[in-house]
Amino acid sequence: MSEKIHGFIYDKDTDGIVTITMDMDGPVNAMNEQYRQAMAAILPRLEAESGLTGVVFASAKSTFFAGGDLRELSSIPRGEEEGQFRMIEDAVKAPLRRLEKLPVPVVAAINGAALGGGLEICLACNYRIALNSPKVAIGLPEVTLGLLPGGGGVVRSIHMLGLEKALPFLLEGTRMKPAQALSAGFVNELVDDVDALVDSAKSWIKANPEAAAQPWDIKGHILPGGDAWSPVISGILSAAPAITFKKTRGLLPAPERILAVAGDTMSVDFDTALRIESRGLAYLITTPEAKNIITSGFFQMNSINSGISRPNDIAPTKVKKVGILGAGMMGQGIAYSSAVAGIEVVLKDISKEAAEKGKAYTAQLFDKQIARGRSSEDNKNKVLELIKATDNYADLQGCDLIIEAVFENIELKNKVTKEAEGFLAEGGVYGTNTSTLPISQLAEASANAENFIGIHFFSPVDKMPLIEIICGEKTSDETVAKAFDYARQIRKTAIVVNDSLGFFTSRVFGTYMDEGARLLQEGIDPILIDAMGKQVGMPVGPLTVQDEVSQELSRKAAETHREMGVFCSKGDNSVNAEISERLIKDFGRGGRYHGGGYYEYGSDGSKTVWPKLYELYHKPEMSIPNQDMKDRILFRQVVESLKCLQEGVLRSVADGNVGSLLGIGAPTWSGGFLQFVNTYEYKGATGPAAFVIRSNELAELYGERFSAPAIAIEKASNNGRFE
Amino acid sequence: MPETAYIYDAIRTPRSKGKSDGYLHEVKPVALAAGLLKELQQRHDLDTSRVDDVVMGCVSPVGEQGGDIAKTVVQFAEWDESVPGVQLDRFCASGLEAFNFAAMKVASGWEELVVAGGVESMSRIPMGAAGGAWLNDPEVNFHDGTVPQGIGADTIATLGGWKREDVDAFALASQQRAANAQANGYFDRSVVPVTDLNGVTILAKDDFIKPNSTMDILGGLRPSFAAMGSMGFDELMLRKYPQLPAIDHVHTPGNSSGIVDGASAVLVGSEKAGKDLGLTPRGRIVATAVLATDPTIMLIGPGPAAKKVLEKAGMTTADIDLFEINEAFASVALRFMQDLDISHDVTNVNGGAIAMGHPLGATGAMLVSTMLDELERRNKKRALIALCVGGGQGIATIIERV
């Protein structure tokens, strides 16, 4: 006899065990209004159930329970904290507390992913049995979304495992496989057969009819590993903030709040800790950081990866054989990434020797992984067998994709295009890996401009997750789709943009280095400039990154653009170019791998400012407020991103956000350079309106380049958002 | 004295049961006190860089109350980086001693603006957590003959001839007066709601008061210290008071001060500091006194301290409009009124710690706000505040409206 109550199937067997099979509306079970109604209805029912001997929580979906409803969460505006707090307390926490206080054992039968709220339900059960399948992921990933586990996840993890063991899972949001969850103590038992899951749960109930109380509800319970009075715990609490800061630079409120709740949990009783946890989540929900991370880091990332930027009326394609022209740094990385994905690779360079050297890069990467126990000789050999190193164009015969990755030189690229494209299979795609040269112009060398496309990889290719696909004027939708499918095939995230000088990522990235160069030219200490970049949340400072990219590359790009008559036509990087040219011409400082740039690099890995730089630029009397410097560094890139959207270089906001996060290193908290504008708060305003106020202020103080683009002014005037 | 020390404001948190089910248990002591500093800053648009020092009493300065909590509070309240802080401990007098120190700092002319107060989260850092040789070192204990305070309180009652009905009657009055004062908003100016990080109110008013107390209810409570006394502490006490045949254990949870969480803060400053910052003085500190009496009975210091402070001020009890004696135990207040020959009508007019609780390190400065508010409400001039203190000490302060 079963009954469905707000998506929960309530079924009592002859032994008195009630199985609640969650089968909510929609594809997954989630902690939404329907869930809250279901719990509100089910708890009184369970409490009143006569002859009840146990409860099993199960799922009718392929996942167990997917956690919070992120759309709902990310829509909650500032000022709604109290309402959220009450809702978390009354509609989420109270029912779970009642569940674990039932006088009978409650068991979670975890058949699929139990993440976030899903695991929190399980933690409010007396026993957890999980299916031992790779499909089952268990964890509390809230921190990765700018939130904290507010359904008791923080407090129950700590009371179950102790602070020391629980903290890493809470602060990193680790997704565990079943075996890992078992050894960590988050689940108690694994079963191999999904059909045996509920039976195993019932067997455990029958074997343990007295196991109805949670450890923390048993008199005399002490926190495993100690409470605030334990020297070990106080040691952890005093070191944890520094360890966390090293990762977040104080820019992410969620891990800080998790630590704060964890700290209080060491000093107060279980129920009080739960309430503190609710307050913490209510606080985080309305932070700009959480909204930014959820909007672009989660929703837009998912939509990009599921192909929102790909022409949708074209059947999926797969690359079987890829040809790579040029076995340099980029070519060898592309070869590795393609071969690892099981694609046959032809790696062509001028000499066999150069090509073999490029292939050896794959072997080196595998050797490192093998040394760390993450791969095997067998794997390495299988992948290496897929790569053919050659100096012979004829080996490219039949490739369904050729990627040219030779030096950034138009004539050279044109020559190679003409020589290679004839070997493509029928309908094959010719991609050029360039970060600075216009695709439509390069396509002129091709006999088949519809099949010609920009495929911009980032260095190092094996580590960087992004590919920027650039459509030339004549590039066909089929070609875009194929390039996109290839990117997914090699497990990269791909954004699709239109052809314009510097495309999206290089153009915006250029402004980062340029603003660093301008601060230098104005006389600011180089150390301070780089520190400001890092304080804003960029991976490294603008001067350091210029050294990595190399002044040499910046100089060459400027030279090429001057020859083409397009220098600084999109994105003003004139100061950066000027300083790069000067450093190379007068002092031979071409960058880190050219013997040093802004910095000197010791063989021991040390890095110190090149002393002459102070002589050339530093004005000790020069002082700009830190906040202004940080805003300049950030706003330059945001303004440029807005212009890319305005000019149609960006085809969607999602492409801009994901591209800036993965390709430029936009700070995680910002949600990308367009999302940043949506939640920016300044002088009492929020969103584009606030952004316009501040950017115009910066323009007045530091130059026209900060003026808010028309697209931002328009959004500000109609109180819109970049979506 | 070179300068007059003025009171510019006096505020406190509400008090709540100092156990895990009390409302303020979830609020860490640093946050409890920092909320008051923030309130002081906002109320007066205070330029905190002008504050020379923050002195806070705390009787269990260990764990999260340890490490010079006053300095931590200053930072957590986001006051100017230049503001220092110091925690002091004179047992139950800590809050008033902090206030007296602030007065002395200003009166000496050496500092211009000082915040005094105290904090005690008795639910998170239990009474006695700081230990101390006076309690935990047998050699010291044998030497000093220290006896738990409750037995001292019972001894005071026995000496004074106050029976259970007398102490219960005093307790009932405390409850009734506190309930009346709260209901009529007498505490509203001083009591600052405690909020969470979202600005959501956790507790707005004292919740320890039991307005429905009756003599019957109070009479039904069991004595708190009889068992402890029979362990041998009574014998220790009687060694000093051999004239007594036995100790009458009259104190119960109903006529002793409540264990609660709370914090207090008073802004003390010179005339110049007030003028510079546009602050209006509400009162001034007339005189302070502290002394010690028999450490075994421990709680008879307030009367002598009050006499000392009156003498310093050149006054008599007739010059004082209102008296406030901390209700550590009912007998302490009864003894105080007897020592000074004053009426209950002018003493603890809005109840006290029996009704509202005694957050050890915070109480003294809380009483300053209680008195200041009440002097203003009654349009009276002077108040004398006194507390009994561990080790037989007594403390007293006279304040005056200006």
A 229-248: CB under 8 A from B: 229
From first CA to last CA, the distance across chain B in angstroms is 17
Q: Is B308 within 8 Å of chain A by CB? A: no
- Beta-carbon separation of B26 and A282 below 8 A: no
Cβ–Cβ gap B197/A268 under 8 Å: no
Digit-coded pLDDT (tens) for A652-690:
999 999 999 999 999 999 999 999 999 999 999 999 999
Distance CA A526, CA A519 (A): 8
Q: Which residue has the higher pLDDT, B141 or B7?
A: B7
N-terminal to C-terminal alpha carbon distance within chain A:
48
DSSP bridge partners of A18:
A12, A55
Q: Please report residues of A whose CB lies closer than 8 A to that of B197.
A: 279-280, 283
pLDDT digits (tens, 9 = 90+) for B363-394: 999 999 999 999 999 999 999 999 999 999 99
Under an 8 A CB cutoff, do B200 and A82 touch? Answer: yes
Q: Rounded to an integer, what distance in angstroms lies between the CA atom of residue A464 and that of residue A455?
A: 14
- Specify the DSSP element, H or E, that contains A285: helix A270-285
Contact B174, B324 (CB under 8 A): no
Angle of helix A542-549 relative to helix A551-564, nearest 10 degrees? 80
Q: Which of these, A447, A443, A495, A434, lies nearest to A472 by C-alpha position?
A: A443
Cα(A522)–Cα(A623) distance, rounded to whole angstroms? 9
Chain A CB within 8 Å of residue B17 CB: no
Give the count of Cβ contacts less than 8 A between chain A and B.
Answer: 39
CA-wise closest residue to A542 among A664, A698, A704: A664
What is the 3-class SS of A504-571, one letter each residue? Answer: CHHHHHHHHHHHHHHHHHCCCCHHHHHHHHHHHCCCCCHHHHHHHHCHHHHHHHHHHHHHHCCCCCCC
Distance from CA of A451 to the nearest CA of B (A): 56
Q: Where are the alpha helices (DSSP H) in A401-471?
A: 410-420, 439-443
Per-residue model confidence (pLDDT) at position B145: 85
Beta bridge partners of A11: A2, A19
**How many other C-beta atoms can be found within 10 angstroms of the C-beta atom of residue B21?**
11
H helix runs in A567-625, sequence order: 574-587, 611-617
Q: Quote the pLDDT of residue A385.
A: 97
Say which amino acid occupies B344. H
Whats the size of chain A, residue-wise? 723
The residue in chain A having the minimum alpha-carbon distance to the alpha carbon of residue B125 is A267
User: Measured between alpha carbons, how far is B84 from B67 in angstroms, rounded to an integer?
Assistant: 13
Q: What is the pLDDT of residue A68?
A: 87
- When the candidates are 3.30.1120.80, 3.30.70.920, 3.40.47.10, 3.40.50.12240, the CATH number that belongs to B1-126+141-402 is 3.40.47.10
Provide the 3-class DSSP secondary structure of residue A579.
Answer: helix
B26 close to A (CB below 8 A): yes
**Which residue from B20, B196, B200 is facing A268, i.e. has the nearest CB?**
B20
**Distance (Å) of CA A287 to CA A78, A147, A252, B35:** 7, 9, 10, 22
Strands (E), B126-251: 194-195, 201-203
pLDDT at A142 over 80: yes
Q: Does A228 touch chain B (CB under 8 A)?
A: yes
Q: Which candidate, B245, B208, B289, places its Cα nearest to that of B23? A: B208
Q: What is the distance between the alpha carbons of residues B20 and B113, in angstroms, rounded to a whole number?
A: 36
Q: CA dihedral defined by A603, A606, A607, A608, rounded to 10 degrees? A: -100
CB contact under 8 A, B198 and A82: yes
Q: Write out the two tokens for A7.
A: 């998506």
The rounded percent of chain A whose pLDDT value lies above 70 is 100
Q: Is the pLDDT of residue B115 over 90?
A: yes
Instruction: Work out the mean pLDDT of chain B and round it to a whole number.
Output: 97
Q: Does B76 touch chain A (CB under 8 A)?
A: no
At A89-138, the pLDDT tens digits run: 999 999 999 999 999 999 999 999 999 999 999 999 999 999 999 999 99
**What integer best gives the mean pLDDT of chain A?**
96
Q: What would the pLDDT profile of B342-358 be if each residue is shown by its tens digit?
A: 999 999 999 999 999 99
A530 interfaces chain B, CB cutoff of 8 Å: no
* Residue B26 to residue A268, Cβ atoms within 8 A: yes
pLDDT given at position B110:
97
pLDDT of residue A283: 98
**Does the distance separating the beta carbons of B26 and A272 come in below 8 Å?**
yes
Going by their DSSP bridges, the two strands B382-389 and A387-390 should be labelled as unpaired
pLDDT value at A1 more than 70: no
Burial label, B318 (beta-carbon count in 10 A; 0-12, 13-18, 19+) = exposed
* Cβ atoms A610, A588 nearer than 8 A: no
pTM here? 0.94
- Using alpha carbons, list the distances in angstroms from residue A37 to A55, A63, A249, B51: 19, 20, 40, 53
Active-site entry in B25, B249, B251, B358: B358
Residue length of chain B: 402
d(CA A635, CA B292): 66
Q: How far apart are CA B63 and CA B70, in angstroms?
A: 14
Contact B28 A264 (CB under 8 A): yes
Q: How would residue A435 be classed by pLDDT, with cut points 50, 70 and 90? A: confident
pLDDT value for A330 = 95
Q: Is B58 a catalytic residue?
A: no
pLDDT digits (tens, 9 = 90+) for A259-273: 999 999 999 999 999
Query: Taking residues A227-242, what's their average pLDDT?
Result: 96
pLDDT digits (tens, 9 = 90+) for A286-322: 999 999 999 999 999 999 999 999 999 999 999 999 9
Q: How confident is the model at residue B321 (pLDDT cuts 50, 70, 90)?
A: very high
**SS (HEC) of A43-109:** HHHHHHCCCCCEEEEEECCCCCECCECHHHHHCCCCCCHHHHHHHHHHHHHHHHHHHHCCCCCEEEE
Mean pLDDT calculated for residue range B287-311: 97
Check CB contact of A269 with chain B, cutoff 8 Å. yes
Residue B379: which residues within 8 A CB-CB, separation 6 or more? none
Q: Which residue in B25, B58, B92, B249 is the catalytic one? A: B92
Q: What is the pLDDT of residues A578-626, one digit of tens each?
A: 999 999 999 999 999 999 999 999 999 899 999 999 999 999 999 999 9
* pLDDT confidence tier of residue A416, bands split at 50, 70 and 90: very high
Residue extents of the structural domains in chain B: 1-126+141-402
Closest CA to B215 of B163, B168, B156, B146: B168
pLDDT at B175 over 80: yes
Residue A461: both structure tokens together: 């290719």
Q: What confidence score (pLDDT) does residue A260 get?
A: 98
**Per-residue pLDDT at A651:** 97
Tell me: cis bond preceding A241? Omega within 30 of 0 counts. no
Give tens-digit pLDDT for A545-581.
999 999 999 999 899 889 888 888 888 899 999 999 9
- Residue A238: closest C-alpha in chain B: B64
Cβ of B197 within 8 Å of Cβ of A279? The answer is yes
Averaged pLDDT, A190-204 = 97
Q: Which domains does chain A have, with CATH numbers?
A: 2-211+223-286 (3.90.226.10), 321-500 (3.40.50.720), 505-625 (1.10.1040.50)
Using CB atoms, pick whichever of B20, B25, B200 lies closest to residue A81: B200
Smallest Cα distance from A670 to chain B, Å: 22
Helix (H) or strand (E) holding A716: helix A710-717
Would you say residue B220 has pLDDT above 70?
A: yes
Residue type present at position B347:
T
